[in-house]
């Protein structure tokens, strides 16, 4: 297939999670995650993640997610892990920092410093995060792809 017949994926705009109750979801996620509420209705809520967002939709009906999950990039993973422990939320055994929310959505916590994912400087400023540091390993991954920050 020629490149002209295919579009290029460039990112993810949002993640939608099914939850049992919108108010309960905002309370649960707000207990360990600092966010701005973008908007809400009786059946949905939207929280900002800078230039992306997360959508909570009322109506979870399936069993808890096993392998299916999403990776949530945070500025301080240890702070969240400590808060989840205080809340009695147990991590899923394994090499990653995964847990289930009360509705069975599986979330992997990923520290911004250690991965090749980046936010543009102006987006970080808009989020009130200034200049977040990257590990040497993350910078090497970005450099190899020609994506290292200036």
Any domain includes 27? yes
Mean pLDDT of 95-110: 97
Mean pLDDT of 131-140: 90
Q: How far, in Å, CA of 88 to CA of 82, rounded?
A: 10
Mean pLDDT of 25-46: 97
Q: How far, in Å, CA of 37 to CA of 25, rounded?
A: 12
Mean pLDDT of 11-22: 95
Q: How far, in Å, CA of 92 to CA of 143, rounded?
A: 33
pLDDT greater than 80 at residue 149: no
Give the tens place of pLDDT for each residue, 41-76.
999 999 999 899 999 999 999 999 999 999 999 999
Any domain includes 42? yes
Any domain includes 97? yes
Closest by Cα among 19, 106, 12 to 67: 106
Q: Could you tell me if 19 and 105 are in contact, meaning their C-beta atoms sit under 8 angstroms apart?
A: yes
More confident residue, 93 or 1: 93
Using DSSP's 3-state secondary structure scheme, residue 116 falls into coil
Which pTM does this prediction carry?
0.90
Please state the domain count of the chain: 1
Any domain includes 3? no
Any domain includes 6? no
């Amino acid at each position: 297939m020629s490149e002209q017949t295919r579009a290029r994926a460039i990112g993810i705009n949002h993640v939608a999670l099914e939850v049992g109750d919108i108010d309960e979801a905002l309370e649960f996620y707000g207990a360990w995650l600092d966010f701005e509420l973008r908007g809400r209705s009786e059946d949905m809520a939207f929280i900002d993640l800078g230039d992306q967002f997360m959508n909570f939709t009322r109506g979870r009906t399936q069993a808890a997610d096993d392998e299916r999950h999403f990776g949530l990039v945070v500025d301080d993973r240890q702070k969240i892990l400590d808060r989840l422990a205080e809340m009695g939320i147990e991590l899923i055994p394994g090499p990653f920092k995964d847990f289930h929310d009360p509705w069975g959505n599986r979330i992997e916590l990923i520290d911004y410093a250690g991965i090749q994912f980046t936010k543009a400087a102006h987006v970080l400023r808009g989020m009130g995060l200034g200049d977040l540091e990257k590990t040497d390993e993350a910078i090497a991954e970005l450099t190899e792809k020609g994506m290292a920050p200036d």
